[in-house]
Amino acid sequence: MEIWINPACSKCRSAISVLDAEGADYTVRRYLEDVPTPDEIREVLDRLGLEPWDITRTREAVADELGVSAWPRDATSRDRWVAALAAHPALIQRPIITADDGTAVVARTEEAVRDALSRGG
């Protein structure tokens, strides 16, 4: 199990606290420093069952600079969104936990963290 975090994020710190309290075996990825490649982002999206716009933090300043709110949300634009997430990792919703069963969750609540744990952690 791996968790993508920004240490400055309170939801990330809360997720880590739950994992630690449950004695989970996990790896921390500080994705702002260890930036995921476009292929890694696509893999996580597949595991989440989501599209790149579903995990984009559209209220970030860089989202406004890029104008992502006006980008089409369709299959032909998917690679553009993935490229933006890879180039500007602050746009990636956090935390994301990849579970041992091949799935992933955006773990913004304690319930979501526990869901990831139930999937094998």
**pLDDT tens column, 31-70:** 999 999 999 999 999 999 999 999 999 999 999 999 999 9
- Higher-scoring residue by pLDDT: 120, 38: 38
- Kind and range of the H or E element at 62? helix 61-66
Q: What is the pTM of this model?
A: 0.93
pLDDT band at 119 (very low <50, low <70, confident <90, very high): confident
CA angle 106–7–68, rounded 5-degree value: 55
